Amino acid sequence: MKLILTRHGQTVENQNRIVQGHLPGKLSEKGKQQAKKLALRLKDEKISAIYSSDLKRAADTAKEIAKYHKNAGFFLVKELRERHHGKYDGKKANEVKWGENTDEFEKLSDMKKRAKKIIDEAYKKYSDSTVVFVGHSAINRVIIRIMEGKDFDEIENMERQRNTAVSIFEIKEDNKHIIHLMNCTKHLD
């Protein structure tokens, strides 16, 4: 299966440095343009299915992609949601003591379980096809770690996923996945 992994467009909350977590989020004007440029970039791909986080910011981005792929399956799923930050969702990023409050955050092991679940589900249905996942920075980094077969303890040190960045993987049944592209935003130039 060819997996195209992307992140939602910029949100008003991103602009204001607000921790979104499981909040819906609203695409900013720039984010709407990013989503349209992403959709144009992917318009010639033979996409069989689009899986998106059910949070509004990701769903709105996925809907732009779907405009060019009317016959693709379209699924809004909780598995691709951003990391839940407990009582810190909705707070300014500088109000969060990031190194001290990790017990409030969703566990990486739980994120890994939901990421593996949706990857397996998509692979089962579309093993010989191209699938798009529209997610968020943290869940996308978890998916990338799964593709790389690397440890999850260092996920916070990974490169942040830029808004509408494209990463492309070839998923293999033997878990020897191939990485073709990482965090590319050439469509935004």
Residue 30 pLDDT > 90: yes
Place of tokens 């910011």: 57
Strands 166-170 and 73-77: unpaired
Average pLDDT of the segment spanning 91-100: 82
Q: What is the DSSP letter of 19?
A: -
Per-residue confidence at 56, pLDDT binned at 50, 70, 90?
very high
Q: Quote the percentage of the chain above a pLDDT of 70.
A: 97
Average pLDDT of the segment spanning 151-161: 78
Q: What is the DSSP letter of 128?
A: T
Average pLDDT of the segment spanning 117-139: 97
Residue 188: HSE in the Cβ half-sphere, 13 Å Cα cutoff: 16
Q: Quote the percentage of the chain above a pLDDT of 90.
A: 80
pLDDT for the residue 104 = 80
Q: Residue 113: CB partners within 8 Å, gap ≥ 6?
A: none
pLDDT for the residue 101 = 59
pLDDT for the residue 169 = 97
Place of tokens 């997996």: 3
pLDDT for the residue 84 = 93
- Which of 62, 65, 45, 44 is closest to 54 using CA atoms? 62
pLDDT for the residue 129 = 98
Residue 153 pLDDT > 80: no
* Helices H / strands E in the chain, number of each: 5, 6
Starting at the edge strand found earlier in the chain, the sheet holding 178-184 runs 73-77, 47-53, 130-135, 2-7, 166-170, 178-184
**Both tokens of residue 127?**
């093993």
Per residue in 63-74, pLDDT (tens digit) is 999 999 999 999
Residue 169: which H helix or E strand, with range?
strand 166-170
Residue 50, beta-bridge partner list: 74, 132
Domains, the chain: 2-188 (3.40.50.1240)
